[in-house]
């Protein structure tokens, strides 16, 4: 069974929050988005949903 590799980064998280918040009528600043992205990334690490130490080099 082949493992699926998913890369999650804070820029992607910040963009997601920006899009979702603006849909709901909020206009967050860049610094707020960066903080939300960092908090979310830390949350995913704490819940072991992502692993910060993964090696993403090709295994060919």
pLDDT: which is higher, 11 or 55: 11
- Predicted pLDDT at 8: 82
Give 12-57 pLDDT, tens digit per residue: 999 999 999 999 999 999 999 999 999 999 999 999 888 876 554 4
The tokens for 55 are 């090696």
Considering only residues 9 and 54, tell me which one the structure prediction assigns the higher pLDDT.
9
- Cα 12-7-51 angle, rounded to 5 deg: 115
Would you report the helix, strand and coil content of the chain in percent, each value rounded to 5? Answer: 50, 0, 50
pTM of the model: 0.71
Strands (E), 1-60: none
**What is the per-residue pLDDT for 58?**
45
| pLDDT of 3 over the 80 cut | no
């Amino acid at each position: 069974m082949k493992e699926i590799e998913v890369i999650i980064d804070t820029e992607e998280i910040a963009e997601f929050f920006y899009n979702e918040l603006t849909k709901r009528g909020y206009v967050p600043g860049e610094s707020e988005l960066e903080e939300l992205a960092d908090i979310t990334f830390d949350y995913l690490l704490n819940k072991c949903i992502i692993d910060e130490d993964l090696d993403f080099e090709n295994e060919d």
